[in-house]
Amino acid sequence: MEFIKPGININIIGKRYIAFAFSLILILVSLGSLIIHRGPNYGIDFAGGTIIQIKCEKPVTIKNIKAGLGELGLEGSAVQQFGEKGDNEFLVHTNQTLITDKGFSEQIQSAVEKSTGAGIEIRRIEMVGPQVGKDLQEKALFALFYTLLFITIYISGRFELKWVLSGVMALALIGAVYFFSIFDVSIPFLIAVALIVTLILFWQLGLKYAMGAVVALLHDVTITIGIFSVLDIEFTLPIIAALLTIIGYSLNDTIIVYDRIRENLKRYNRLGIDEIINKSINETLSRTILTSLTTLIVLFSLFFLGGDIIHDFSLALIVGVIVGTYSSVYVASPILLFLQEEKGGGSVAATAG
């Protein structure tokens, strides 16, 4: 099936600076939101605390629920509607780590019934200690960091035949991050510095394909997290799973384009590198759009019909697929061209043979 007719020649590379500006705006908005909110809105998985899900037999106000919680010393708890409005279900999120035994459940039920005048059912109570939450934050960051590093080994080896160089560099960075983490250095700061150092090393060592892919992946992850921050949606373990899925999806698209670039470097050796990259993107555009559209059909079905449990997970994937498709076309390959122009004309073509 051909979604786009063969031989089409959209000047994608010619619009790369417009795309770079658009991406920069999205990244700045994302980072600005994260700075204003002092990081993502961590859910109980990462922040620690207690979540209580309650169901009321008739409509009640959040104010009355908070009044009942205040009698138990839970004045600062966040209460939000859960599910459809007619379900009369609410989530109570407190930063306190509470003793969640049967007696506590009965106290919650009694206090809220008194303040609302409605029958209350305690659906679930979940508790995560602050140390567990901190450990999960660090493990999630390490998972993202190591994923990106191992991807660089694969990209550098497959497209530039620099398996050993990229492997040694990745192992050195992993060792350095592990070493400094022993000395109670802030893990988010440490990994941010390590990623910056990684990109500088890519630049210096001429790992153009790897740098293009990793910049595109960082672009996708940053914007997805930023959108969650702008919308003030909780950042939980399922969202980390969604981010790792997004990385894999976006990388797959990027590799398809890179493979076509490598093939066309052999086939059209008289064309300029910018023409070859633009031609390669156009030749894979139909496949890229069709794959994204079919994936989005499934994700939108999950988003609207899958219920509240996977609502945020499916939203993260929807955002990631859209941004990942865009970055495969307008970020990864144009970055490759930019590095080629800055570093000289020979090395991308040389890897094609």
Domains of the chain: 13-43+132-350 (1.20.1640.10), 49-126 (3.30.70.3400)
Query: Which of 126-135, 182-191, 270-279 comes out lowest in average pLDDT?
Result: 126-135
In 3D space, the residue among 325, 323, 318 whose CA is nearest the CA of residue 285 turns out to be 325
Distance separating alpha carbons of residues 338 and 147, to the nearest angstrom: 25
The mean per-residue pLDDT over the stretch 274-292 comes to 91
pLDDT score, position 237: 87
pLDDT score, position 296: 95
Q: Are 293 and 255 in contact (CB under 8 A)?
A: no
27 pLDDT more than 70: yes
Q: Are 225 and 39 in contact (CB under 8 A)?
A: no
Out of 174-183, 217-226, 331-340, give the one with best mean pLDDT: 217-226
The mean per-residue pLDDT over the stretch 247-251 comes to 90
Q: CA end-to-end span of the chain, whole Å? A: 31
- Per-residue pLDDT band at 160 (split at 50, 70, 90): confident
Residue with tokens 């000047």: 11
The mean per-residue pLDDT over the stretch 325-337 comes to 91
Each residue's pLDDT tens digit, 107-141: 888 888 888 888 888 888 887 776 667 788 888 88
pLDDT score, position 1: 55
Structure tokens at 116: 């609302």
Eight-state DSSP code of residue 207: -
66 pLDDT more than 60: yes
Whole-number average pLDDT of the chain? 85
- Single-letter residue type at 62: I
Q: Are 323 and 304 in contact (CB under 8 A)?
A: no
Q: Are 257 and 332 in contact (CB under 8 A)?
A: yes
Beta bridge partners of 51: 93, 126
Q: What is the pTM of this model?
A: 0.83
Structure tokens at 54: 């309650």
Distance separating alpha carbons of residues 24 and 218, to the nearest angstrom: 12
pLDDT score, position 350: 43
Strand 49-56, strand 89-94: pairing: antiparallel
Q: Are 97 and 130 in contact (CB under 8 A)?
A: yes
Q: Where are the alpha helices (DSSP H) in the chain?
A: 16-36, 44-47, 62-70, 102-116, 130-160, 163-181, 187-205, 208-230, 237-267, 273-305, 311-327, 333-343, 347-350
Residue 82 makes CB contacts below 8 A (sequence gap 6+) with: 53, 89, 90, 91, 308
69 to 85, 109, 114, 124: CA distances (angstroms): 21, 10, 10, 16
Distance separating alpha carbons of residues 118 and 114, to the nearest angstrom: 8
Structure tokens at 5: 């007719």
Distance separating alpha carbons of residues 3 and 6, to the nearest angstrom: 9
348 pLDDT more than 50: yes
Question: Which comes out higher in pLDDT, residue 212 or 87?
Answer: 212
301 pLDDT more than 80: yes
Distance separating alpha carbons of residues 197 and 189, to the nearest angstrom: 12
- Per-residue pLDDT band at 344 (split at 50, 70, 90): low
Long-range Cβ pairs for the range 153-158 (8 Å, 24+): 155/207, 155/209, 155/210, 155/213, 155/214, 155/255, 155/258, 156/207, 156/209, 156/210, 158/255
Each residue's pLDDT tens digit, 30-54: 999 999 988 888 887 787 788 888 8
Chain centre to alpha carbon of residue 175: 25
Question: Which comes out higher in pLDDT, residue 318 or 272?
Answer: 318
pLDDT score, position 268: 86
Residue with tokens 């008289």: 270
